[in-house]
Amino acid sequence: MYTAKETRYEKMQYNRCGASGLLLPAVSLGLWHNFGSNGSFDNMTDMCRTAFDYGITHFDLANNYGPVPGSAEENFGRILKKDLGVYRDELIISTKAGYDMWPGPYGNWGSKKYLTASLDQSLRRMGLDYVDIFYHHRPDPDTPLEETAGALDGIVRSGKALYVGISNYNKEQTMAIAALFKKMGTPFIINQRKYSMLVRDIEKDGLKDYAAKNGIGIITFCPLAQGLLTDRYLNGIPKDSRIRTDGRFLKEEAVDEKTLNKVRALSRIAEERRQSMAQMALAWILRDGDITSVLIGASRASQIVDNAGMLDNRSFSKEEWERIEQILAGDGS
């Protein structure tokens, strides 16, 4: 029987999520990859145990995570029943709906019908009465925003979620739905967006600054740019990389010499800081306090341990900061 480490809260940093009362760990675990029907259940269990033992209390899912869609939630439900369920009050569990999930006109996007039905299915798969955060996974260009916001508000009032979030919404979309939530008194606390040293869209569209000034948390996914911001690609593309085995998310053309030269230059700074490249990339995201949590993915427990080690060195000197910005702004030469 699994018993969590008594030291699990000693090193993890917990950040307030926007203006809410909720604290999220600086590092959260995403179950986007490696928790589907094609993965090893023992490995999934080992990763979740390791995460919690290191103070990672937040586990992030979505209805379509797999493959097959729904299988990540089913497997996490098995892990809860077997191991982590006794610690439910110490866990933050989130899930999402917004992408294609089942046949017909009611299994996609942002209608009240879809969001309500999807969460009911997610709760059954995980064996839960409620989730801590329920997200709309992406903006819907056709459903009125008032309907989507109202559905999320109703879900909280039903007791099936404690807080609501949005994902993949830009600044203008966030401002629009935030205004609706404010009128309804909905506990809207967070936006989940892609962000890394190599993908800085939330800075360009102004979301990062807007969220910080308006009490909205931000949790970032793909903080390591699908593995590019690790030591894995320093010498080119490995034969067993995700590019070779699953090209849906990281394309070979993204790993060009310009990008690799930037990563190599960054890795030299990480080495001087006595960190792995991944640790420095995660610390960089949390550098100014605007980001609530970084959402990591993992294929084995040792990666979670390495990522959590980022907490030992989170600050940057002015010289390091300037060098990093110069590298990121350069042409990779």
Mean pLDDT for back-to-back runs of 10 residues, the chain (333 residues): 96 97 98 96 98 98 98 98 98 98 98 98 98 98 98 98 98 98 98 98 98 98 95 75 60 80 96 97 97 97 97 96 95 59
- For the record, the structure tokens of 257 come out as 């010499």
Which residues, other chains included, contact 310 with Cβ-Cβ below 8 Å and sequence gap of 6+? 27, 275, 278, 279, 280, 282, 283
- For residue 35, what pLDDT is reported? 98
- For residue 233, what pLDDT is reported? 79
Q: Give 265: exposed, middle or buried? Use CB within 10 Å, 0-12, 13-18, 19+.
A: middle
What value, to the nearest 5°, has the Cα angle with vertex 39 and ends 33 and 43? 95
State whether the Cα torsion 291-71-153-21 is positive or negative.
negative
Which residues, other chains included, contact 241 with Cβ-Cβ below 8 Å and sequence gap of 6+? 227, 232, 233, 250
How far apart (Å, rounded) are the C-alpha atoms in residues 114 and 134?
A: 13
The 3-state DSSP class for residue 141 equals coil
- For the record, the structure tokens of 291 come out as 């980001």
- For residue 23, what pLDDT is reported? 98
Provide the pairing of β-strand 14-16 with 23-25: antiparallel
Which residue in this structure is represented by tokens 């979670």? 304
Which residues, other chains included, contact 267 with Cβ-Cβ below 8 Å and sequence gap of 6+? 231, 234, 277
- For residue 330, what pLDDT is reported? 85
- For residue 205, what pLDDT is reported? 97
Cα separation of the two ends of the chain? 53
The 3-state DSSP class for residue 209 equals helix
State whether the Cα torsion 155-115-98-301 is positive or negative.
positive
The second-level CATH assignment, the architecture, of 14-329 is Alpha-Beta Barrel (3.20)
- For residue 222, what pLDDT is reported? 97
Find out whether 13 and 283 touch, Cβ atoms under 8 Å: no
Q: Count how many Cα atoms sit within 13 Å of the Cα of residue 172 in the half-sphere of its side chain.
A: 2
The 3-state DSSP class for residue 272 equals helix
CA 196 to chain CA mean position, Å: 12
Q: How far is CA 285 from CA 88, 141, 203, 222, 325, in A?
A: 28, 30, 12, 11, 13
- For residue 107, what pLDDT is reported? 98
